[in-house]
Amino acid sequence: MSAPVQDSSPYRASLLHTEPHFKSEFGTIQVVTADRLPNLKNLSIKRLKLAPGAIREPHWHANANELTYCLSGKLLISILDNGNEFSIFTISKGEMFFVESGSLHLIENAGDEEAELIVCFRHERPVDFSLSASLGAMSDSVLGNTFDQEASTWQQVARNTQNKQIIPRQGPVDLPRTVYLPNRHKFDVEGMTPPTSHSFGSARTAKSQFWPALPNMSMYSLRVEEDGMREPHWHPSTVEMGYVAEGYGRMSIMDPSGAVDTYTLQPGDVYYVPVSYPHQIEEIGGSQIHFLIFFDQPMPQDVGYRNAATLLGRDSLAATVGTAAQGLPAFPFTPKDPLIVKKRNPVDPVKSKL
């Protein structure tokens, strides 16, 4: 399918076609923060691509935890946490890692092909510090004292306070045997048995129930087939930020004024939903959609329309919609939110705002 016409919306942006924040022969960084989508709160997103032999330089985030999903490639992740905790492990396609705010970490392409990552931050405007820049902030004497050396040792090391972002590795990657051991920072979300699974869609969930390391973030790997639909719903206590990894979809979201914003989504797009705003997602391209959906809570909760119809009696529901009870359709008894429902009807015509 050719790409649909892109709609203008305060809740949608293209990460794939955003002007790179950084670009070199070693890789690219593209970001969508509140500077691009002013509605954003608590979350922002980055697309990181690393060439073979490239490194996302050692750095830390001053105000945001980081939750990352690997779309392709093999990477070596090194993390230094508070309390002298050292972690070194690999990740590959379909795996994730988590880094706490303030923890030093670096990401190395450990394979022979380009690697691609989708990185979500627990802040709408994340702030970075790099190790190289922080070394540039200190004098030769201070660094000499730190590492038990003469100040003259550091006179030969050129330094400044500018982040380098992506750098080439010097020499082959070092993979100790311990990189394949389990680690609390790592989670194989695509390797799990999906908690929600139907012939028309599935959801794998990286949340604290299954990944205890997560304090205030989570992610759903949502797949919806052509004959499925993510039911209309809202999240009582979490914002939502999604990335379209595969397929073409359409989303509708209502704001408190009663205005409804409906827009199309294609690979590389991101969208944002504020707390408790009702919204819905469906596939429009004739195949499957795969969304990476990030939340600012470790255990996101849903309230769905089917549950709502089960709560209300027929008389109350009839009064709600302004019709006679006998004119209402029969509603299925739904004590548990199904998350994904079967699409029995054709997709409504797609209308562009442009």
B/e letters for 99-126, b = 16+ CB within 10 Å, e = fewer, are bbbebbbbbbbbbeeebbbbbbbbbbeb
Whether 5 has a pLDDT exceeding 50, the answer reads: no
Whether 8 has a pLDDT exceeding 80, the answer reads: no
pTM of the full predicted structure? Answer: 0.94
Continuous segment of H or E residues that includes residue 271: strand 269-273
Phi-psi region of 201 (alpha: psi -120 to 50; beta: other; left: phi over 0): left
Q: How many angstroms separate the most distant Cα atoms in the chain?
A: 89
What mean pLDDT is predicted for residues 118-136?
98
Which domains, ranges and CATH numbers included, belong to the chain?
12-187 (2.60.120.10), 194-342 (2.60.120.10)
Where does 242-342 have alpha helices with state H? 305-311, 314-321
Q: Residue 348: what pLDDT? A: 82
Residue 181 structure tokens:
């051991």
Q: How confident is the model at residue 354 (pLDDT cuts 50, 70, 90)?
A: very low
- Note the residue count of the chain: 354
CA nearest to 46, candidates 241, 288, 249: 241
